């Protein structure tokens, strides 16, 4: 399935299953018309950006810096700094992007499951 189809499926999942947290969402495209990311707007004014690549790279990024200074991101970019983690290259930025805030990530490699896991985390944080 093309990335745009996966993004659309994730958007539908997010709004259907987490409509109490997700206010709106849209697929964003590059100037050339390729799908760039999925953006979800949350009820508190924060956003989640989901980046997926055909090669299997991903990032689920919750941007809250403008609200409380926090970011939360699961990604699998193979940064050498995180090589010591048991889940390398998968890792989780918890509250910030500083080195001491990075931990193991057990987020699923399946996009639908990962979206549910990440949105359950978000839902729990928003209370």
Delimit the domains of the chain by residue range: 3-126
| Residues 6 or more apart whose Cβ sits within 8 Å of residue 30 | 36
pLDDT of residue 96: 73
Cβ neighbour number for residue 25 with a 10 Å cutoff: 20
Decide: residue 123, CB within 10 A, 0-12 exposed, 13-18 middle, 19+ buried: middle
CA distance 64 to 73: 11
Torsion sign (Cα): 68, 22, 103, 51: negative
Q: Which of 69, 111, 77, 116 is nearest to 94 (CA)?
A: 69
pLDDT of residue 72: 96
Helix axes 3-17, 111-126, angle to 10 degrees: 40
pLDDT of residue 7: 96
Tens digit of pLDDT at every position of the chain (127 positions)? 789 999 999 999 999 999 999 999 999 999 999 999 999 999 999 999 999 998 999 999 999 999 998 999 999 999 888 899 999 999 999 987 776 789 999 999 999 999 999 999 999 999 8
Q: What is the pTM of this model?
A: 0.93
| CA gyration radius, the chain | 14
């Amino acid at each position: 399935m093309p990335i745009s189809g996966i993004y659309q499926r994730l958007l539908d999942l997010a709004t259907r299953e987490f409509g109490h947290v997700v206010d709106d969402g849209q697929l964003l495209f590059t100037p050339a018309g390729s799908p760039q990311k999925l953006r979800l707007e949350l009820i508190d004014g924060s956003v989640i950006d989901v980046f997926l690549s055909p090669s299997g790279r991903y990032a689920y990024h919750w941007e809250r810096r403008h609200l409380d200074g926090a970011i939360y991101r699961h990604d699998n970019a193979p940064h050498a700094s995180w090589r010591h983690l048991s889940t390398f290259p998968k890792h989780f930025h918890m509250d910030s992007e500083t080195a001491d805030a990075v931990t193991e990530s057990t987020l699923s490699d399946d996009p639908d499951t990962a979206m549910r896991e990440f949105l359950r985390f978000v839902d729990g944080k928003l209370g």
